[in-house]
Amino acid sequence: MAVGKRNLTMAAVAVVCAMTVLGAPVTAYASQTSPTPTPTPTPSASVSPAPGSTPVTNEDLERVRTKLEGLYHDAAVATDAYNAAEEKADRQSEELVDLAHEVVKGQQKLDKLQDLIGAAARAQYRGSGLPPEVQLWLTENPQDFLEGADRIRQGQLATKGLLAEMTRTQQDLEQYSKDASARWEKLETNRKAKEKAKKKIKKQIAAAEELEAQLEDDERERLSQLEEAAAQRSQAAWLDSGILAEINGKASPQGRKAVEFATKQIGKWYEWGAEGPDTYDCSGLTSEAWAAAGLTIPRTSQEQWRQLKHIDIQDMRPGDLIIYNSDASHVAMYLGDGSMVHAPRPNRKVTIAGAGTMQILGVVRPDA
């Protein structure tokens, strides 16, 4: 976590401490409401045959490929959950810092009011009228306030007004306390969600790597060929639909900038939760590409699908985002001519691939 984020968190802790001093208790953590994760597939005990046994067939490797797809898909879903929780936690930390500033200002105002009330009471006792600092506090129209009122009446009105202002300030501080408690509760909930997603990501990736590690070098090469063949079949089927003849949109100026940024990242490694500049996950690449084009978009592929404008596939243009899988767990950027650029998965680099090599859910346009 960056230093700035750690500072935000420390400031958030200071807010809760301040709330405790004011007498507002911090409520218990909210229960985790995320859905129950799907069971984690476990790799078979062995893929490679024992010495003297039957060699691993393409059919065996196809089963391995399918299992790997499932493991990496689940890791991608968990990565989206991790990124979403991190984004929310950062935002809530910033809100807590803002509340901390409000608490400090409110406490300073309360202290000042208490001093003014004391000064007004002492002046009233002496019968000497309002002290200058009290008159200054009531300066919306001090002349109207003072004209026609005797000293005792002035003191009574001043004290009443200051007491009312002090009551309002105390109420504001109590509300800040409640808001801080609620935000702290959400912050802790999102921290737990992030840690839960992190554990699942690591578990899925470790299972996939263990499965691949059981293969011999030639078997890994054959597996790679099977993966490439499956991608080519999907792309061919997509192109055979005639869709490419209908896609002729031109990139917008911002879209061209986003494409330029994304393609400059080709060759950099995938890393879950990463937003560059050295590594990226799929939505980290697309969100940073559009940030470079001057537009802030949601951080995760699922939120990009939910919040950005949906475009018919035949209307897409370079820079648009292609969302994949029924659960919107992957995203790529369309380049034109039936191709896209994306950060595929762990142990892979940012690359160009056919836009139809995976199951397309739909297309969204950041600069619609």
CA distance 234 to 241: 11
**Closest C-alpha to 318, from 366, 269, 267, 266:** 366
Query: How many residues are there in the chain?
Result: 368
Choose the catalytic residue: 17, 73, 101, 282. Answer: 282
Is 342 a residue of the active site? yes
Is 310 a residue of the active site? no
**Closest C-alpha to 323, from 302, 345, 343:** 302
Q: Concatenated DSSP letters for 106-123?
A: HHHHHHHHHHHHHHHHHH
> 91: burial class by Cβ within 10 Å (0-12, 13-18, 19+)?
middle
Choose the catalytic residue: 17, 101, 310, 330. Answer: 330
Q: How many CB atoms lie within 10 A of CB 117?
A: 18
**Token code pair at residue 51:** 């010495």
**Token code pair at residue 258:** 């986003």
CA distance 351 to 323: 16
Amino acid at 316: M
3-state helix, strand, coil in the chain (%, to 5): 60, 10, 30
Is 17 a residue of the active site? no
Q: Is the dihedral of CA 45, 48, 49, 54 positive or negative?
A: positive
End-to-end CA distance of the chain: 33
Identify each DSSP E strand in 180-253 by its residue range: none
Rounding to the nearest 10 degrees, give the CA dihedral for residues 111, 117, 122, 123.
120
Distance of CA 54 to the CA centre of its chain: 49
What are the residue numbers of the active site? 282, 330, 342
